[in-house]
Structure 1
Amino acid sequence: MDHRHAYPTHLRQAGRQLAHPGGAARARTWFVALICLAWLCIATAQAQASPWPGTAEAARSDWNAFQPPETGWVPVSVPNDWTRQWPGHDGVVWYRLQWDITDPPQTQGLYIHYLIHAGVISVNGVELQRDPSLVEPLSRTWNRPRFLLLPAPLLHTGRNELLIRVSGYHAYQPALGPVEIGPPEPLRAAYQRSYLVRQDLNWLHLGMGATLGCFFLVLWLMRRQEAAYGWYAARQAAWVAFTLNFVNTSPWPFGNTGTYSAVTSVAYVLYHGCNAMFVLRFMGRSWPRREAALWLLIALASAAMLMAPHEQLRLMRNVLAWASSALLLTTACVFGYLAWNGGNLVQRLLSLTALAGALAMVHDLLVFTRIMDDNFYLAPYTEPLATIGIALTLAWTFVTNTRRIESFNDEMHHSVTKARAELTASLARQHELELQHARLGERVNLAHDLHDGLGGMLIGNITTLERTNGPLPQDQVLDMLRGMRDDLRLIIDTASAQHYGELSLGELLAPLRYRMSQLFELHDIDVHWQVSDIDRLHLGATRSLDVLRLLQEALTNAFKHSRATRVHVTLARQARELELQVWDNGQGLAPGAASGTGLRSMQVRAQRLGAQLSVDSQGSATTISLRVPLPDVQA
């Protein structure tokens, strides 16, 4: 499986941005600035110390000795690592430094670069400084410079003596660092510079590392597919655990120096393992077998370190130091090879910071193994280069993506505004078309109504006139005219309902009921209307017209052909259907009437309504029934 494109998307985007000539120039600027800052700190801390102006002797004793021994003193040079005089010695070594003052004494400054691990400082028999714990749990002041002011009354002309008691273990480079004595102000300034580098900058590095570690942890929790985030968070956690060794003043939370140092060594190994995994994921690589072998070795080495007896601690720490250094060098070389063979500018710049860390590690390894006589470690000052590089990469990417999002939002706003204007115009055109369609629909409906109703009646009346020999009776002519008038009124009523707003079926029925009731009463026909629950029933103009035409046709048939004396009309809403029934006590349907024009017209309208039409003629009575379903009608 090819993982070359698996590294975080935002880093690929940053690489494309940095590939721009302006981006490359800015990248080189901040990279050079960081390098200069780191080497400035190193140069400040590594300022050449003045040699001790007098003699120096050392003598060893056990942990509980609080007075220097009478014998056993040997000449030494300062700085001094006592394992050269007494290999394997754990406990206390006394350092006696003497110098001469020829003129009347003046206030002097005493600057001690370091002592490992804890100590007591006395001048001319007067104790000036004592660390909190000189036995286990032993105070850890190995990376803390000391400055003392020696007032003139404390000194005297002639031979003066500085006595320093140092408690330590042979496994942890027990030593007394450079000691300087002289005018207070220059030494105070040198002490402050050293304290800034050895303590304050380490606290700053801790804060930066912890903050970035938490930040990347949150990013990884939100985007689990970005494995580089998770490994970087683990890397920073291990780095914080290791860097605490430079500022802690006690082995807490552990009870002794050995356990604390073993855990610190394990954290150092884990840091390099997580760093290797981060580099691989950052470069889009995954080598499962090699990674499994790496973590198996780390687990075995960590277990061996934690379980090693006290006598083997120095050897185990040296083995882990060499192994970690080999892993760091390998990681830096792999990083550089991948970055400079197909990587982007961001990856190449960060590979340079990895190379700087590897070079610093070589220096630290030489110090740790005492090949170099020093106790100043460069790793805490070169590691922030990579940390700051990652932070700047993220910030750079964030700003770039923010600008891209803002540009996209502007384009989107312009597009939405344009689309809104087009939609408004389209809706206006659609509304105009709908109005035209509605007007056309009204005209078509009116044409159908005129054709089906008044047109049919006109044709029928014309046919009657053509087939009649001689003049028609006046009453018959009047009936024809009244029928056409009633049909025309019905069309006008339904058209008015469409034009002025939809009316209920009860409101549309009222004019027809009035006209038909007058007609039946004029001919002495008793008509009874039973209307219920239709005052708020809205069927729509077309369906209402069909129902009313069916009713009109049924009443017209009863009036013209049945010779009835009583007619009963029922129009009621029953649950989800409308029931229409016209009953008369006339002579019933004549043979062949069921296939007449009127009934065929009623059947067509019933089909259009989706209703059931039934005609029942028994003897001298006829019943026409219509059931119209009302699935979508609301009262």
Structure 2
Amino acid sequence: MEAAPSGWLDERPPASGWRPVQVPSNWNAHWPGHDGVVWYRLRWNIAGAPQTLGLYMHYVMSAGAISVNGVELDRDESLVEPLSRAWNRPRFLLLPAPLLHAGRNELLIRVSGYAAYQPALGKVEIGPPGPLRAAQRASELARKDLNWLHLGIGATLGCFFLALWLMRRQEAAYGWYAARQAAWVGFTVNFVNTSTWPLAHTHAYAAATTAAYVLYHGCGAMFVLRFMGRRWPRREAVLWLLICVACAAVLLAPHEHMKTVRHTLAWASSALVVATALVFLHLAWRGGSLAQRLLSAAMAANALAMVHDLLVFSALIHGNFYLASYTAWPTTIGMALTLAWTFVANTRRIERFNDEMHHSVAAARAELKASLARQHALELLHARLGERVNLAHDLHDGLGGMLIGNINTLERTRAPLPPQQVLDMMRTMRDDLRLIIDTASAQHHGELSLADLLAPLRYRMSQLFELHGIEAHWRVSSLDKVQLDATQSLDVLRVLQEALTNVFKHSRATRVDVTLVREEGGHLRLEVHDNGVGLESSAAGAPPPPGGTGLRSMQTRAQRLGARLAVDSRGSSTTVALHMPLQGLRGSS
């Protein structure tokens, strides 16, 4: 073929300046630094009547128009900025017989491009339409369709693992894989896009594509480290500092230095790819799993393919065929399958752990249930024994003491006792027994309040005082909400009963005042005041004297209630006072 340069806006080929070239042809070999248009011309002869032929052009870098015998057959959308990006589209045109001439024919190709971006015309073939059409379809499958497939697979897998990473932030490998795929999508669009959109100029588009390529390899290196469970903070910081500098350089580089910057970054990125593959191989084969070893081998093969593509990009290998279309998407799928395999293995391990925990919890629950059942049975037994012990104590302290006292009285008295005295002794024992029965009927917490339990005792004692000619005055207040358990209620009533019994037995009083109130401070106050003869040798506020059995019994019950008992005897009156806190007592409110 022949070729001649011209300006951007020239619509006709130049009249001079033509020189012979071989295709594929990169015009930097003939016109270094030329930006604009180069015209390519092929003339050939047809002997005899023309037959319909096929025209197969491997590529045009980066936009062009095709004419045969002065008739334009194909033209890209834009031959000036923003340039069409037709470099990866193999073309097949049908040359009908009427278009061709017997004798000399001319093919004219107008190519628009930049010296920084490998301006070139690929191989051109003219011959029978069938074989050339088949060759063009095979080339389009490799150059375009496979890239669309890879683009779709990469975007889908990137979104999938991005969603996984957002749900499990601790899985950093998923996040770096998603970032790697996002950068790869930005770079792979370069292979299928036919315009510079969304950017307005070829230079900006090339800079963005190069930056995406650098980021892709940086994210790939981070993915390998995280996938292998490694963290190298200082080296990673240096790596990303260099990546940021590289991206800034390519985005800010002026047009005249763009070729140098892009080639430098291409070599540096390839060096990073090879280093990443070697590190991956070393870590995986030294102590990694089978999946990691297989993936490291796949990435090593992909690194070799990228080295080949770098040589094509740098024109050290002539042509426009890149292996990445074949090797990149299997590697991407392999990485995704390996991540999925790892995710499934971790999930199964978690499920096994959950099953083991479920069985352990079920066994522990059964053991706890049996233990609680045993404890409940013991508590019931202890409660029954406790109730029996309490009942025995009550019978011993009350009815038992009275029986012993009455027996002693009967044994020491030589003369027959008056019937009234015997009747009083029997009534006293009856009243004590009824007190035990009344409190025992309130076994369950909250069944009867203290006021309900007090009513029978108050009735019986009032009748007893009336029988002995003693005026009884009762002041009972705010007891409806005082609910104690049976033992506590019995202790309070025992103290009251003992104090009242002492009044009509020993005091020779004519009046008794009984106060039982719930005070605002959360205390229960019990006072029994009489106008009798008083107690011997008892100071105001002093504890009960040790000589009295009844008073010692009251003191014991007060200690059990956590209360303070005071006996004040001044001259001809006696006051027995019990102050008991209600807070913290079971059954109180």
TM-score (norm 2): 0.88
Give the distance between the partners of 2:39 and 2:553, measured in 1 at CA.
129
Residue in structure 2 matched with residue 403 of structure 1 by the alignment: 348
Give the distance between the partners of 1:572 and 1:139, measured in 2 at CA.
102
Contact 2:292/2:338 (8 A) holds in 1 = no
Which of 88, 96, 105 is the matching residue for 1:160?
Answer: 105
Between the two structures, name the one with larger relative contact order (CA 8 Å, sep ≥ 6).
1
Question: Given residue 58 of structure 2, which amino acid in structure 1 is its aligned partner?
Answer: H
Q: Once the 2 structures are TM-superposed, how far is the Cα of residue 392 of structure 1 from its aligned partner?
A: 0.5
Matches within 5 A, 1:200-215: 200-214=145-159
1:456-487: CA deviation from partner (whole Å, max 9, x where unpaired) = 22222233334334443433333322222221
Residue in structure 1 matched with residue 60 of structure 2 by the alignment: 115
Q: Once the 2 structures are TM-superposed, how far is the Cα of residue 429 of structure 1 from its aligned partner?
A: 2.7
Q: Once the 2 structures are TM-superposed, how far is the Cα of residue 346 of structure 1 from its aligned partner?
A: 2.6
**Unpaired segments ≥5 residues, structure 2:** 539-543
Shifted more, 491-500 versus 286-295: the winner is 286-295
Question: Given residue 586 of structure 1, which amino acid in structure 2 is its aligned partner?
Answer: G
1:191-215: CA deviation from partner (whole Å, max 9, x where unpaired) = 3332232222223323333444455
Which of 241, 264, 280 is the matching residue for 1:335?
Answer: 280
Residue in structure 1 matched with residue 535 of structure 2 by the alignment: 589
> For residues 581 and 174 of structure 1, do their structure 2 counterparts lie closer, same or farther at Cα, with a shift above 3 Å needed?
same
Question: Given residue 31 of structure 2, which amino acid in structure 1 is its aligned partner?
Answer: W
Give the distance between the partners of 1:589 and 1:206, measured in 2 at CA.
108
Give the distance between the partners of 2:184 and 2:352, measured in 1 at CA.
39
Question: Given residue 481 of structure 1, which amino acid in structure 2 is its aligned partner?
Answer: M
Give the distance between the partners of 1:320 and 1:96, measured in 2 at CA.
35
Structure 2 residue 35 is the aligned partner of structure 1 residue 95: no
Q: Once the 2 structures are TM-superposed, how far is the Cα of residue 510 of structure 1 from its aligned partner?
A: 2.1
Which of 567, 579, 586 is the matching residue for 1:627?
Answer: 579
Shifted more, 139-148 versus 406-415: the winner is 406-415
> For residues 320 and 434 of structure 1, do their structure 2 counterparts lie closer, same or farther at Cα, with a shift above 3 Å needed?
closer
Q: Once the 2 structures are TM-superposed, how far is the Cα of residue 293 of structure 1 from its aligned partner?
A: 5.6
Structure 2 residue 562 is the aligned partner of structure 1 residue 610: yes
Q: Once the 2 structures are TM-superposed, how far is the Cα of residue 167 of structure 1 from its aligned partner?
A: 0.9
Give the distance between the partners of 2:236 and 2:370, measured in 1 at CA.
64
> For residues 334 and 427 of structure 1, do their structure 2 counterparts lie closer, same or farther at Cα, with a shift above 3 Å needed?
closer
Residue in structure 1 matched with residue 472 of structure 2 by the alignment: 527
Question: Given residue 528 of structure 2, which amino acid in structure 1 is its aligned partner?
Answer: V
Contact 1:243/1:380 (8 A) holds in 2 = no
Question: Given residue 549 of structure 2, which amino acid in structure 1 is its aligned partner?
Answer: T
**Unpaired segments ≥5 residues, structure 1:** 1-55
Give the distance between the partners of 1:417 and 1:582, measured in 2 at CA.
60
Shifted more, 397-406 versus 386-395: the winner is 397-406
1:129-159: CA deviation from partner (whole Å, max 9, x where unpaired) = 2212212222221111223334444344443
Give the distance between the partners of 1:208 and 1:439, measured in 2 at CA.
76
Give the distance between the partners of 2:339 and 2:288, measured in 1 at CA.
17
Which secondary structure state, in structure 2, belongs to the residue aligned with residue 204 of structure 1? Answer: helix
Matches within 5 A, 1:141-290: 141-214=86-159, 228-229=173-174, 231-285=176-230
Which of 263, 269, 274 is the matching residue for 1:324?
Answer: 269
Question: Given residue 240 of structure 1, which amino acid in structure 2 is its aligned partner?
Answer: V
Which secondary structure state, in structure 2, belongs to the residue aligned with residue 318 of structure 1? Answer: helix
Residue in structure 2 matched with residue 511 of structure 1 by the alignment: 456
Contact 1:217/1:230 (8 A) holds in 2 = yes
Question: Given residue 566 of structure 1, which amino acid in structure 2 is its aligned partner?
Answer: R
Which secondary structure state, in structure 1, belongs to the residue aligned with residue 107 of structure 2? Answer: strand
Which secondary structure state, in structure 1, belongs to the residue aligned with residue 442 of structure 2? Answer: helix
Which of 567, 572, 578 is the matching residue for 2:524?
Answer: 578
> For residues 453 and 571 of structure 1, do their structure 2 counterparts lie closer, same or farther at Cα, with a shift above 3 Å needed?
same
Residue in structure 2 matched with residue 600 of structure 1 by the alignment: 552
CA RMSD of aligned residues (A): 3.1
Which of 282, 289, 293 is the matching residue for 1:348?
Answer: 293
Give the distance between the partners of 1:384 and 1:194, measured in 2 at CA.
17
TM-score (norm 1): 0.82
Give the distance between the partners of 2:133 and 2:331, measured in 1 at CA.
32
Residue in structure 1 matched with residue 324 of structure 2 by the alignment: 379
Residue in structure 1 matched with residue 430 of structure 2 by the alignment: 485
Question: Given residue 574 of structure 2, which amino acid in structure 1 is its aligned partner?
Answer: T
Question: Given residue 623 of structure 1, which amino acid in structure 2 is its aligned partner?
Answer: T
1:473-523: CA deviation from partner (whole Å, max 9, x where unpaired) = 433333322222221221222222227973211221222222222222233
Q: Once the 2 structures are TM-superposed, how far is the Cα of residue 118 of structure 1 from its aligned partner?
A: 0.7
Contact 2:445/2:485 (8 A) holds in 1 = no
1:561-593: CA deviation from partner (whole Å, max 9, x where unpaired) = 223333332222222122222233333335689
> For residues 602 and 193 of structure 1, do their structure 2 counterparts lie closer, same or farther at Cα, with a shift above 3 Å needed?
same
Shifted more, 580-589 versus 97-106: the winner is 97-106
Give the distance between the partners of 1:159 and 1:291, measured in 2 at CA.
64
> For residues 535 and 267 of structure 1, do their structure 2 counterparts lie closer, same or farther at Cα, with a shift above 3 Å needed?
closer
Give the distance between the partners of 2:257 and 2:506, measured in 1 at CA.
128
Q: Once the 2 structures are TM-superposed, how far is the Cα of residue 291 of structure 1 from its aligned partner?
A: 5.4
Contact 1:266/1:305 (8 A) holds in 2 = yes
Contact 1:570/1:582 (8 A) holds in 2 = yes
Q: Once the 2 structures are TM-superposed, how far is the Cα of residue 280 of structure 1 from its aligned partner?
A: 4.3
> For residues 466 and 267 of structure 1, do their structure 2 counterparts lie closer, same or farther at Cα, with a shift above 3 Å needed?
same
1:169-206: CA deviation from partner (whole Å, max 9, x where unpaired) = 22322221122334445433433332232222223323
> For residues 308 and 453 of structure 1, do their structure 2 counterparts lie closer, same or farther at Cα, with a shift above 3 Å needed?
closer
Q: Once the 2 structures are TM-superposed, how far is the Cα of residue 451 of structure 1 from its aligned partner?
A: 1.1
> For residues 365 and 604 of structure 1, do their structure 2 counterparts lie closer, same or farther at Cα, with a shift above 3 Å needed?
closer
Shifted more, 615-624 versus 223-232: the winner is 223-232
Question: Given residue 167 of structure 1, which amino acid in structure 2 is its aligned partner?
Answer: S
Give the distance between the partners of 1:508 and 1:578, measured in 2 at CA.
15
Which secondary structure state, in structure 2, belongs to the residue aligned with residue 628 of structure 1? Answer: strand
> For residues 460 and 194 of structure 1, do their structure 2 counterparts lie closer, same or farther at Cα, with a shift above 3 Å needed?
same
> For residues 492 and 313 of structure 1, do their structure 2 counterparts lie closer, same or farther at Cα, with a shift above 3 Å needed?
closer
Contact 2:142/2:325 (8 A) holds in 1 = no
Give the distance between the partners of 1:291 and 1:601, measured in 2 at CA.
84
Q: Once the 2 structures are TM-superposed, how far is the Cα of residue 106 of structure 1 from its aligned partner?
A: 5.1
Residue in structure 2 matched with residue 439 of structure 1 by the alignment: 384
Question: Given residue 485 of structure 2, which amino acid in structure 1 is its aligned partner?
Answer: G
Residue in structure 2 matched with residue 544 of structure 1 by the alignment: 489
Which secondary structure state, in structure 1, belongs to the residue aligned with residue 89 of structure 2? Answer: coil
> For residues 227 and 420 of structure 1, do their structure 2 counterparts lie closer, same or farther at Cα, with a shift above 3 Å needed?
closer
Residue in structure 2 matched with residue 24 of structure 1 by the alignment: none
Q: Once the 2 structures are TM-superposed, how far is the Cα of residue 258 of structure 1 from its aligned partner?
A: 3.1
Give the distance between the partners of 2:263 and 2:379, measured in 1 at CA.
90
Question: Given residue 585 of structure 1, which amino acid in structure 2 is its aligned partner?
Answer: N
Give the distance between the partners of 1:629 and 1:327, measured in 2 at CA.
81
> For residues 502 and 441 of structure 1, do their structure 2 counterparts lie closer, same or farther at Cα, with a shift above 3 Å needed?
farther
Q: Once the 2 structures are TM-superposed, how far is the Cα of residue 273 of structure 1 from its aligned partner?
A: 4.0
Q: Once the 2 structures are TM-superposed, how far is the Cα of residue 557 of structure 1 from its aligned partner?
A: 1.6
> For residues 337 and 433 of structure 1, do their structure 2 counterparts lie closer, same or farther at Cα, with a shift above 3 Å needed?
closer
1:199-232: CA deviation from partner (whole Å, max 9, x where unpaired) = 2222332333344445555666676666655554
Contact 1:502/1:540 (8 A) holds in 2 = no
Q: Once the 2 structures are TM-superposed, how far is the Cα of residue 453 of structure 1 from its aligned partner?
A: 1.0
> For residues 288 and 577 of structure 1, do their structure 2 counterparts lie closer, same or farther at Cα, with a shift above 3 Å needed?
closer
